[in-house]
Structure formats: C-alpha cells, structure tokens
Structure 1
C-alpha cells in the first residue's frame, strides 16, 4: 500500500525542483498526444518562453465563490 504522506512529499519535491523545460520535455516524451493537445508542434523553448498566467486570480475567484456559498447557507 502506498503511504499518502510519503507519496505527497515525493510529489511536492518533484514539482518544487523540476524546471519548466524538464516538465515540458517529460510530457512530450511520456504522452505525445497530450503534449500535442496542450502545445501543438511548438518547441520546448517556445512553450517555456510564454508568459505564465497569474494563478492568484483563479484562487481569488474560488475564494470569493466559497465565501458566497458560506453566506448562502448561514
């Protein structure tokens, strides 16, 4: 049986240390169809050069939605 805490620590360490270039290259190697769907035929350099979207905005939307739901049921 897999220990969830140990697996979570390994997962977190991986994503804390992997570079965007390594991640894209691994996805392209392991699942070419998924890579094609996500990025098309662009190179790793082109994909990694894109400006990343801020994740804070998405978190704020979900936090706001959560507060609205709590107010609705309180």
Structure 2
C-alpha cells in the first residue's frame, strides 16, 4: 500500500540511532529498558529518541495524509 511505502521510506531516513531504537521498539516489541541494555545506553536516551522518531514520522506523513490521526498512524506502524 502507498502509505506503507511512505512509512518505510521515512523510517529508513531517520537518523541512525533513532531508526535503530524505533525498529527495536515498534517492530521487535522491545521495551525501553531492554533496548537500553542491548545498546548500552541510558533508558531516558531511548525514550527521547523514540519521541524524536515519532515526531519526525508524523511530520513527514501529515503533508501526504492530512486527515490521518495519531492512533491510525501508530496502528499502521505496528502492523
């Protein structure tokens, strides 16, 4: 689907740390603590990077799909 391609492109273009953390959280289902342990970083860093990733994804999707809600976007990211 078109939105899936857009999301993949956006995720692939995230800064490295953001992308890795986002994929570990959303696609592998890891909790911030587990991600922090695996990457040897602070748990708060994981949370900040997730926030940055989500904000960037929303900012990139909105111009293409202005009516999309946060809930729909998150469900698409998790599917």
Q: Is the TM value for this pair above 0.5? A: no
